[in-house]
Amino acid sequence: MPTKLENKLVIAISSRALFNLDDSHQVYENDGLQAYSEYQVAREEEPLEPGEAFPLAHKLLRLNDRLGDDSGVEVVLLSRNSADTGLRVFNSIQHYSLDISRAAFCGGESPWRYINAFGCQLFLSNEAEDVRNALDCGVAAATLVSSKGGGTDSDLLRFAFDGDAVLFSDEAERVYKSEGLEAFTASEKAAAREPLGGGPFKPFLAALHRLQQAFPATEAPIRTALVTARSAPAHERVIRTLRAWDIRIDESIFLGGLNKTDFLKAYQADVFFDDQPIHCESASPHIATGHVPHGVANP
């Protein structure tokens, strides 16, 4: 087993995101910790149903069949369970033959504290507070809000990202929120050659880009898309920013305020990340969706 993860794409997923723990969580809410523990121990040989992040985790781990051991993907489990109640989670991992061997069971405490120690580039959870704490630590993180867990059965893994406050800083979005669309458009046109600052998902996009570079452009098993409400002339600054970062993005969709959901379905996104709750709410019945509680839209 490798002892270092520096060259890997490391993604942390909470147990409630990886598996459907709704029933057992309801036991905890209704009857308390002791009843929850007894419930889990009594059912530890019963595999849990897949959760919202399961299809994404499964596809990510399948990438290792095409990548070397030193440059592949590592999925780490972070859980509020104790090791005792978490045995059912690990048994479920084995049942589905997921190559997940590293975990932190935190006995009721928040597990986000371990994301930097594991070297994680992305954290997915159902707990909004944990996600905010991860973002404060400089790690891309999202709260899974979808009722659907994944895209197609294809081996191709498709990521979709909003732009402002996700891939980019929220500096332009602040102008829009405070001064309106006309001022936003004028500001972006004037600053077209000034790269935007990086948002919380810039390092994760860069990590995906490094994985893509291990393959010819037409054969990469990962595809990325920018799905943004921007339109011309505010498109130019985005294009020049990505060029300045030297990061490839496969598709850029400038919607000019149109609803994103139909475009995400057409793209067949496996997961979509956006800072705006309204966009997440629209996409979540159809696409695995992560809300990024960052920027001016999330005070």
Catalytic residue IDs: 162
Structure tokens at 26: 């309801």
Residues β-bridged to residue 105 = 79
* Distance in angstroms (rounded) separating the CA atoms of residues 241 and 198: 9
* Distance in angstroms (rounded) separating the CA atoms of residues 171 and 295: 9
286-220-227 Cα angle (round to 5): 40
* Distance in angstroms (rounded) separating the CA atoms of residues 295 and 299: 7
Please, which residues have CB within 8 angstroms of residue 181's CB and are 6 or more apart in sequence? none
State the DSSP code for 49: P
* Distance in angstroms (rounded) separating the CA atoms of residues 235 and 192: 8
The number of angstroms, rounded, from the C-alpha of 108 to the middle of its chain's C-alpha atoms is 23
